[in-house]
Amino acid sequence: MRFASLGEEGSQGPGHSSHRMPEGPELHLASHFVNEACRDLVFSGCVEKSPISRNPEVPFESSAYHISALARGKELRLTLSPLPGAQPLREPLALVFRFGMSGSFQLAPSDALPPHAHLRFYTAPPSPGLALCFVDIRRFGHWELGGKWQPGRGPCVLLEYEQFRENVLRNLVDKAFDRPICEALLDQRFFNGIGNYLRAEILYRLKIPPFEKARTVLEALQQRRPSPELTLSQKIRAKLQNPDLLELCHSVPKEVVQLGGKGYGQESGEEDYAAFRAWLQCYGMAGMSSLRDRHGRTIWFQGDPGPLAPKGGRPHKKKSKGAQQSPEDKMENPPPPSKAPSKTRRARRGLPEQTTAQQPKRTSLQQDPGVSPVTEKGKRRGRQASGFCRPQRIKADTSSLETEGTSAS
């Protein structure tokens, strides 16, 4: 048996130079991987959590059970279903995972677990035993018991297209659409499954400036109606030839899923990664420009950034064969800002003094669940926020849906 992983956005290994965070397609592929890998496997015993994970314990034990998965947007539900006659008698248990910045599922020999395997499900004897592992190098991913999708998330762009489209167009009065379209696309209340690389590819294909006002872009779609004189085949052809932004929010993630492969983690292989890299047209590509949005996420684009571009922000153009650092390293994990110049230095350079009022506020549903809300706290508390503190009770992550901003997936 060949062991594999799916869903990881981590390093591609020594020969790779780029990686990305898990978005809707990666979660969908991860669910497919789990279902395929575990289809003929029987698991048994307790679910084992690593001692350093701050996620909740999983109170499940069974002498024989199956595992299945279902993805929706940037979440994945894992269901543990006891087999008939299994002991002790109990109901199925469901967990909902959000992958954060580096989550993945891997199937590995139980006596050779991968590093950072924070939740383990072991197969029943006979040997050799296997373990399905939730692997998370950066520990921003988490799971919750009960199987309920995160409240406030919109319909999935992949699996619930009609509901997704209706939800966006019905809510254009929401203040989220006062913002640039590149930021609105990361709001998981409306674009559940869209992340950093997808927003760049979608806007690039339509030649929409990333910092155009979201409402301006989307209001036109409310009036878009095909001519009643067109036949059904003509309407379908017109839609395929001239898709709008919401249609691309559905079809572009589908393209990534159709690339197939085992994923884009350390064991995904050069071939899988090369296929994804060849598919990209904008994200991190040579000749494209980039700017940071107000949440620190890098948006890649071509041409004019749009009227709501950050004041004073200067687009950076990607060179054909530039620095060693990957585009994703620069985007998904922006370095912490350097210390602000002192008042004296600011005065010498003619810079205005920065006040706390100038710092953009991040509202709860605007943050991608992929980023730990303790990031800033960690800077002050040192080791405590890095995962070495006492386990804490995890609250429902409704605070992080609005801008996937500093995230995720």
CB atoms within 10 A of CB 93: 20
Residue 24's identity, in one-letter code, is G
The answer to whether the CB of 176 falls within 8 A of the CB of 194 is: no
The answer to whether the CB of 287 falls within 8 A of the CB of 317 is: yes
Q: Which long-range contacts (CB under 8 A, 24 or more apart) does 310-313 make?
A: 310/211
- Which residue in the list 49, 74, 213, 318 is annotated as catalytic? 74
Strands 48-49 and 61-72: unpaired
Spatial separation of the C-alpha atoms in residues 7 and 39, rounded to whole Å: 18
Instruction: Clarify whether 48 is annotated catalytic.
Output: no
DSSP class of residue 353 equals: P
Instruction: Clarify whether 74 is annotated catalytic.
Output: yes
Spatial separation of the C-alpha atoms in residues 33 and 365, rounded to whole Å: 29
- Which residue in the list 22, 25, 82, 114 is annotated as catalytic? 22
- Separation in Å, CA 244 to CA 95, 199, 218, 220, 248: 35, 14, 9, 10, 6
Q: Single out the residue of 37, 68, 1, 14 nearest to residue 263, CA to CA.
A: 37
Provide the CA 79 distance to its chain's centre, in angstroms: 21
Spatial separation of the C-alpha atoms in residues 87 and 45, rounded to whole Å: 10
Q: What are phi and psi of 229, to 5 degrees?
A: -80, -15
CA count, 13 A, side-chain hemisphere, 385: 12
**Can you state the percent helix, strand and coil of the chain, rounding each to 5?**
30, 20, 50
- Which residue in the list 8, 9, 23, 183 is annotated as catalytic? 23
Largest CA distance in the chain: 78
Q: Which residues are catalytic?
A: 22-23, 74
